[in-house]
Amino acid sequence: MKFEQRLTRRRMLGASVFVGGLAMLSPGRLALAATTPDPFILRAGKGTAMLRPVPYSPTQVWNYNGTVPGAEIRVRQGDRLRVLAQNGLDDPTTVHWHGIRTPNA
């Protein structure tokens, strides 16, 4: 008797949920995530950027660490990242993290 199973979307999703559930139960998952040793400084400030090509002049912008857009911050999933926001602007500002759950303290 020949046993043949095709890989279907339903089987793939079922296996993913099963494996993901096992990962949630593993002891390593209960430990606190590693923390990056040095905080990442995110400084909002005034500057200029070439938003349009020559012959147009640079545009006055608000930026992060002198760049538009701000630098990409990459860490491993599960790690904790400490970010110190410094406001170098004349006006109050906030940082909005798209798609990331953060404490609102």
| pLDDT tens figures, 37-62 | 788 889 999 999 999 999 999 999 99
The token duo for 17 is: 């949920």
Query: In the chain, where are the structural domains located?
Result: 33-87
Instruction: Read off the pTM.
Output: 0.56
pLDDT band for 35, please (50, 70, 90 cuts).
low
Contacts of 95 (CB under 8 A, 6+ apart): 42, 44, 83, 85
Mean pLDDT value across the chain? 74
